[in-house]
Amino acid sequence: MKAANLELLRRLPEHLSENIKGQDHVILPVCSVLRRGELGLANTRRPRGSFLFVGPTGVGKTEITNVFTEYLFTDAKPVRFDMSEYQTHSSVEKLIGEKVGDVGLLGRALANVDHGTLLFDEIEKAHPLVLDLFLQVLEDAAITLASGERKNLSGFYVVFTSNIGAAEAMRMRSAPFASVQRTVLSRVNQQLRPELVGRVTEKIVFASLDYATQRAICAQMIERELARLRALGLEIEVGADALELLVREGYHRGLGARPMRAAVERYIQERVVRGMLA
């Protein structure tokens, strides 16, 4: 491997820590899987690595997937599927095709792509037949489309996210996190098929975000939005008072950082609009 790529892997923990707040415990296990995958140590008959990220909504499960995919694959995005759209018996046909010649949404998304990240959000909502496909993906790093084409997925990381146990985790906010992890993973093992869970490389529980963490996330979101607008030739200053206002407006105990992002974008963009119209 080139020295530049080795340096990329050395800096991976720092990069993830800079971008993912309040989840320090996930950094090392995620980096371990990614480093083994990038150094070619993973079994080539399986995906480069697989994850099951579990926890409340808006705590960074999808965000960390976006961050490491963009970092490792030069600004690429994960190939994402929302499993809430695959709850019926016909979902398999939607995913891999209905008849000969049809490759389905998965086949179309993977056309001319042989590496990256496959992200399956809210796996607990998928139809059991779709879960059967995931067994094949995790065990053989391959999937056969209705067209007869067999796609090799050994160049991909596979990420499943789930909100299983989120309600219990929120009720246990004052409990030691080790107890939260045991409770959530116990719920995962009850609700998901053991043969699927057992094939996943790393199963990681994400913590809920406290006020201080959401405040740090808000400051980070402000900087990113200002940088995005500067790239468009727009300059705007946001003072400390605005930060406190946005934290109060965007903080949500149950929904995590998602309302914060909406509050930051709305506030800053509205000020830009007012300035332009004036």
Give the residue from 205, 227, 246 where a domain finishes: 205
Number of folded domains that form the chain: 2
| Domain ranges, residue 38 | 3-205
Average pLDDT over the chain reads 91
Give the pLDDT confidence of 258-268 residue by residue, as tens digits. 899 999 999 89
Same domain, 38 and 175: yes
> Which CB contacts under 8 angstroms, 24+ apart, belong to 222-231?
222/246, 222/264, 222/268, 225/264, 225/265, 225/268, 225/269, 226/268, 229/268, 229/272
17 and 124 in a single domain? The answer is yes
pLDDT bracket for residue 157 (50, 70, 90): very high
52 and 165 both lie in a single domain? yes
Instruction: For residue range 70-115, list pLDDT tens digits in order.
Output: 999 987 999 999 999 999 989 999 999 988 788 999 999 999 889 9
pTM: 0.90
- For residues 236 and 180, membership in a common domain is answered with no
